[in-house]
Structure 1
Amino acid sequence: MEHLTNLDAGFLEAEDSDRHVSLAVGSLSILEGPMPAVDAIVSGLADRISDIPRFRQVLQTHLLDLGPPQWADDPHFDLSHHIRRAALPAPGDGDALNALVGDVMGRRLDRDRPLWECWIIEGLQDSRWAMLVKIHHCMADGIATMHLFSRLVDNESPGYDTVIRAAKQSAKVPSQQKDWGLNPVGWVRGVGRAAITATRISALAVGGALQVTTAILRPAQTSSLNGPVSSMRRFAAAAVSLDDVARICDAHGVTLNDVALAAITSSYRAALERRGETPARTSLRTLVPVSMRSNGAADRTDNRVSLMLPALPADAADPVEQLQTVHRRLSAAKSSGQREAGGIFVALSNLMPFPVTAWAVRALTRLPQRGIVTLATNVPGPRERLTIMGRTIVRVLPIPPIAMRLRTGVAILTYADEMVFGILGDFDAAADVDQLAVGIETAVATLAATVG
C-alpha cells in the first residue's frame, strides 16, 4: 500500500482544522451537444476509471497519527456512489451552472469512500452539457489533476507531457562535471565546484525561507478578503483570448502568468474600492503555488508543489504599472529562493517521524492566518481541443479550494485558444465573485487595448 506524503496529508489536516472547509479541487468541462445517453456516459467512464487505481482506493488512517495515511483498494467500491447526475433549471444559463458548481464544491467528500466525484450536468443553453470532476487535494495537485482528467478524454495524447515541461519550475543542483576522468586534480576541482554550488543553493533557500516566514507572520492589511469562511461557496468564471494575452506579453516583455496575475490584481483592487476599502501595498499578498514535478513524475497522483508569496500591487492604479510591477515582483520572488525553500522544507518534513509533522501541521492550521489574502494557481492546459464520448469540450474551467481564512481563490488554465479563470469564494463574504470575473476580463481587455 502506498503512503501519503506529509504534504498530501497536510491537506487533510488543513481540512480538519475548520469544519466549514472542503479541500477539493475541480475541473468543469462544458461540452457540445447533444448529450449522449447517461447510461452510455457512465459505461464509458467506468472503462476509463478502471485504469486509474487511485479512483478505486480509499484512505486508511492510523490511531493517533502514529503512521501516515495510506491508499488501499476499496473492497466495496461502487461507481454509483461517485458518478452523480444533475439538471439545471430553465433556461440553463451560466448563473445556474455557477450556482450548482458552488454548491457541489462546498460539500466535503466522504472519506469512507474514494475521494472523488463526477457530476454529469444537463440542461445547459445551446444544447450543451457539462461534466464536473471533483478530487480531494490530498490526492493530486493542479498538474496531477489535469493528468487524471486526461485519462477520461477520448484523445490519445492530449499533450500533457508538454504541460509538465511548461509548468516545471524545480531548481536542481546542476552537475558541474559529468566526467571527472582519472585525474585526481579534476576530482578535487569537481568536488570543490559541487560544494560551492550546494552552498549557493543552501544560501538561496535560507533567504527564501526567511522571506516566506516573514510574509506569513506579518499580517496583511486588514480587509474583507481575509477572515473566517462559511460552509457555502459561490463560483464564477472569466475567459480571455490567449492571442490577446500573447500580444500583451510580446509588447511588454512579460509572461502569461504575469498578465494573469496583473488582471487579478486589477480586479481585486476594484473589489476593495467597491467595498469602500483603500488598497495598500500589503492588501493582496498572494499564495502562488509552483510546480516541482519532473517529467518522469507526470503520472504520479500526489502533490509536488512549492510556493511563492508575492504582494500583488493592488495599490497601483495604472494597468501597465500593475503589469510591470507584477513582473518585477514575480522575478524577484523566483530569484529569492522562495520556491527552493518550500521544496527543501517539504523534503525535510518527509524525513521526520510522521506523528511529529502531523501534530505540528494540525497546530499551525488552527492558528488564525492573517498574512496571506488570496490564492492564484496557474496550470497550463493542452492547446488542442479535447473530446469526451465524441463530444468536443468547448471550455475547461478550473476550480480552486479555499481554506485558512482565504475567502476567495483563483485558478488559471490555458485551454485551446483561451485563458480561463475559475473563482471560488465564500458565499457570505464574497458575494461579488461575478464582478471579480468581469474585472479580470476588463483588465485584460484594457491591457490589450494599450498594445493596439
Structure 2
Amino acid sequence: MEHLTNLDAGFLEAEDSDRHVSLAVGGLSILEGPMPDIDTLVAGVADRVVDIPRFRQVLRTHLLDLGPPEWEDDPEFDLSHHVHRAALPSPGDDAALHGFVGEVMGRRLDRDRPLWECWVIEGLDEDRWAVLIKIHHCIADGIATMHLFSRLGDSSEAPSYDTEIRAARQSADTAFSVPGLGLNPLRWAGGMWRAATAATRVSALAVGGALQVTSGILRPAQTSSLNGPVSAMRRFSAAVVKLEDVARICDSFDVTINDVALAAITSSYRAALERRGETPKRTSLRTLVPVSIRSNDAADRTDNRVSLMLPTLPADKEDPVEQLQAVHRRLARAKSSGQREAGGIFVAMSNLVPFPVTAWAVRALTRLPQRGIVTVATNVPGPRERMTIMGRRVIRVLPVPPIAMRLRTGVAILSYADELVFGILGDFDAASDVDQLARGIESAVDVLAAAAG
C-alpha cells in the first residue's frame, strides 16, 4: 500500500480541526448541449475512472495517528456512490448554477469511500449542461487536480500552461537539492566546494524566507470581516476575463499574469472592505499564495507539491496601476526572500519526522485562531485548448478552492484556452457579497486594460 506524505495527510488533519470545514477542491465544466444520454455518460465516466487509481482507493488510517494513512483498493467500489445527477430550477442561469456549486462544496466527502464526487448538472439555460468534479485536497494539489480532470476528457494529451511555471523546468529530484559530485575523482574537490557553497546559499535563503513566513502567520493582520469563524455553508461565484487583455497589460507594464490577477483581486477586496464600512490599511490583505514545486517529470503524480508565499497585497492603495506595480514589487521581494525555498525545504524535511509528531502538531496548530492571513489566492495553469467530454465542447472551466483556518473567502485562478477565470468560494454568512467580489475583479482588469492602451 502507498502511504500519504505528511503534506497530503496534513489536509486531513486540518479538516478534522474544524467541523465546519470541507477541504475539497472542485472543477466546474460548462459544456455545449445537447447533453448525452445519462447512461452513456456514466459509462464513459466509468471507462475513464478505471485508469485513475485514486478514484478507486480508500484511506486506511491508524489509531491515534501512529502511522500515516495508506491508500488501498476499495473492494466494494461502486460508481453510483460517486456519480450523481442534478437539475437546476428554472431559469437555470449562472446564479442557480453557482448556488448549487456552493451547496455541494460545503459538504464533506465520505471518508469510508474514495474521496471524490462527480455531479452531472442539467437544466442550464442556453442549451448548456455542466459537470462538477470534487476531489479531496489530500489527493492532489491544483495542478495534479487539473491533470486528473483532463483525463476525464476525450483527449488526455492536450497541451497545458503548466509547462511554463518555474518548477516545471526543474527535475523532481533536484528542485531543492545541491549539485552532485560526479564520478571523476579529480572533480571531487571542486564539486564538494560548489555543493557546500550552494547548500549554504540555499540554507541562508530558506532561513530568511522562513522568518518572513513565520512572522506573517504570527503577526495579526488588520482586523477585518475577512477573517473569523466560518459556518458549514458556502457561496460561490466566478469572474472571467480575456487572456488577450491580461497579456496586453503584462506587456505594457512589464509584469506577469500572476501580478495582474493578484492586482485585480486587491482592487476587488479593497472595494469590499469599503462596502462593508471598513478602511483598507497596509496590513488588511495578507494573502496566502500557494506556489507549485511540481516539475514536468512529476506532472502525472497524484499528490501535493506546493510551497507558499505570504505577500501583503496593497489594499491601502487606491489607484489600480499603483496597485499593480506594488503587487509586482512585493511578489518580486517575496520570491527573492526565500519564502518559496523555505516552504519547499520544510515540506521535504517534514517527511523525515515521525508521522505522529507532524499529525498532532498540524492538528494543534490548525485549531489555533490564526489572524495573520485573511485570504488565499491560488493560480492553476489549465489546458491551452478547449477540451471536449463525450464529444461536447467544454465552453468554460471554473476552479473552486476550499476555505479553512478562519479564511472566509478564497480565490482560485485558472487559465483555460483564451480565458483567465477566477473562482471565488466564501462563507455563506460572512461573505454574502461573492458576486460583487467577482464583478470587482472583472472591473479591475477592464481598468488596467484601458490603462495599457
TM-score, structure 1 length as denominator? 0.97
In the alignment, is the contact (CA less than 8 A) between 1:164 and 1:298 conserved in 2? no
Q: Deviation at 1:451? A: 1.3
Q: Deviation at 1:159? A: 1.5
d(CA) in 2 for partners of 1:190 and 1:50? 47
Correspondence 1:192 to 2:221? no
Residues 1:342 and 1:177: Cα distance change in structure 2 (over 3 Å): closer
Residues 1:59 and 1:174: Cα distance change in structure 2 (over 3 Å): closer
Aligned partner of 1:78 in structure 2 is 78
Aligned partner of 1:98 in structure 2 is 98
Correspondence 1:147 to 2:147? yes
Aligned partner of 2:228 in structure 1 is 227
Q: Deviation at 1:297? A: 1.2
Residues 1:321 and 1:70: Cα distance change in structure 2 (over 3 Å): same
Aligned partner of 2:293 in structure 1 is 292
Aligned partner of 2:311 in structure 1 is 310
Aligned partner of 1:435 in structure 2 is 436
After TM superposition, the structure 1 = structure 2 runs for residues 319-398 of structure 1, keeping only pairs within 5 Å, are: 319-398=320-399
In the alignment, is the contact (CA less than 8 A) between 1:2 and 1:71 conserved in 2? yes
* Letter in structure 2 aligned against 1:9: A
After TM superposition, the structure 1 = structure 2 runs for residues 241-252 of structure 1, keeping only pairs within 5 Å, are: 241-252=242-253
Q: Sequence identity, in percent?
A: 77
d(CA) in 2 for partners of 1:166 and 1:349? 25
d(CA) in 2 for partners of 1:200 and 1:295? 25
Q: Give the secondary structure class of the aligned counterpart of 2:126.
A: helix
Q: Deviation at 1:164? A: 4.2
After TM superposition, the structure 1 = structure 2 runs for residues 7-18 of structure 1, keeping only pairs within 5 Å, are: 7-18=7-18
Aligned partner of 1:415 in structure 2 is 416
d(CA) in 2 for partners of 1:60 and 1:115? 12
Q: Give the secondary structure class of the aligned counterpart of 1:249.
A: helix
Q: Give the secondary structure class of the aligned counterpart of 1:240.
A: strand
Aligned partner of 2:302 in structure 1 is 301
d(CA) in 2 for partners of 1:91 and 1:172? 50
* Letter in structure 2 aligned against 1:141: D
Residues 1:167 and 1:148: Cα distance change in structure 2 (over 3 Å): farther
* Letter in structure 2 aligned against 1:231: A
Q: Deviation at 1:182? A: 4.8
d(CA) in 1 for partners of 2:382 and 2:224? 33
Q: Deviation at 1:26? A: 0.1
Aligned positions, number: 449
Q: Deviation at 1:172? A: 3.6
In the alignment, is the contact (CA less than 8 A) between 1:368 and 1:404 conserved in 2? yes
Structure 2: where are the runs of 5+ without partners? none
Spell out, residue by residue over 1:264-294, the C-alpha distance to the aligned partner (whole angstroms, 9 max, x if none): 0000000000000000111000000001111
Residues 1:387 and 1:21: Cα distance change in structure 2 (over 3 Å): same
* Letter in structure 1 aligned against 2:84: R
After TM superposition, the structure 1 = structure 2 runs for residues 80-229 of structure 1, keeping only pairs within 5 Å, are: 80-160=80-160, 163-166=162-165, 168=167, 172=175, 181-183=184-186, 186-229=187-230
d(CA) in 1 for partners of 2:74 and 2:178? 44
Structure 1: where are the runs of 5+ without partners? none
* Letter in structure 2 aligned against 1:153: G
Q: Deviation at 1:189? A: 2.1
In the alignment, is the contact (CA less than 8 A) between 1:365 and 1:404 conserved in 2? yes
d(CA) in 1 for partners of 2:441 and 2:76? 45
d(CA) in 1 for partners of 2:181 and 2:13? 43
In the alignment, is the contact (CA less than 8 A) between 1:180 and 1:190 conserved in 2? no
In the alignment, is the contact (CA less than 8 A) between 2:369 and 2:406 conserved in 1? yes
d(CA) in 2 for partners of 1:182 and 1:339? 34
Q: Give the secondary structure class of the aligned counterpart of 1:413.
A: strand
* Letter in structure 1 aligned against 2:383: P
d(CA) in 2 for partners of 1:189 and 1:182? 10
Aligned partner of 1:43 in structure 2 is 43
In the alignment, is the contact (CA less than 8 A) between 2:181 and 2:192 conserved in 1? no
Spell out, residue by residue over 1:280-314, the C-alpha distance to the aligned partner (whole angstroms, 9 max, x if none): 11100000000111112111111010000000000
Q: Give the secondary structure class of the aligned counterpart of 2:117.
A: strand
C-alpha RMSD of the superposition: 1.4
Q: Deviation at 1:177? A: 7.7
Q: Give the secondary structure class of the aligned counterpart of 2:359.
A: helix
d(CA) in 2 for partners of 1:15 and 1:439? 30
Q: Deviation at 1:174? A: 7.4
Spell out, residue by residue over 1:149-208, the C-alpha distance to the aligned partner (whole angstroms, 9 max, x if none): 011000241124x5244362778467668767453xx43222112111110000000000
d(CA) in 1 for partners of 2:179 and 2:348? 23
Q: Deviation at 1:147? A: 0.5
Aligned partner of 1:64 in structure 2 is 64
* Letter in structure 1 aligned against 2:262: L
Aligned partner of 1:268 in structure 2 is 269
In the alignment, is the contact (CA less than 8 A) between 1:167 and 1:379 conserved in 2? no
Q: Give the secondary structure class of the aligned counterpart of 1:126.
A: coil
Aligned partner of 1:34 in structure 2 is 34
In the alignment, is the contact (CA less than 8 A) between 2:176 and 2:345 conserved in 1? no
d(CA) in 2 for partners of 1:329 and 1:206? 19
* Letter in structure 2 aligned against 1:335: S
Aligned partner of 2:279 in structure 1 is 278
* Letter in structure 2 aligned against 1:245: V
d(CA) in 2 for partners of 1:109 and 1:289? 23
Aligned partner of 2:3 in structure 1 is 3
Q: Give the secondary structure class of the aligned counterpart of 2:217.
A: helix
* Letter in structure 1 aligned against 2:444: A
* Letter in structure 2 aligned against 1:106: G
d(CA) in 2 for partners of 1:344 and 1:135? 26
In the alignment, is the contact (CA less than 8 A) between 1:287 and 1:372 conserved in 2? yes
Q: Give the secondary structure class of the aligned counterpart of 2:322.
A: helix
d(CA) in 1 for partners of 2:185 and 2:100? 68
In the alignment, is the contact (CA less than 8 A) between 1:173 and 1:197 conserved in 2? no
Residues 1:116 and 1:176: Cα distance change in structure 2 (over 3 Å): closer
Q: Deviation at 1:88? A: 0.6
d(CA) in 1 for partners of 2:403 and 2:227? 11
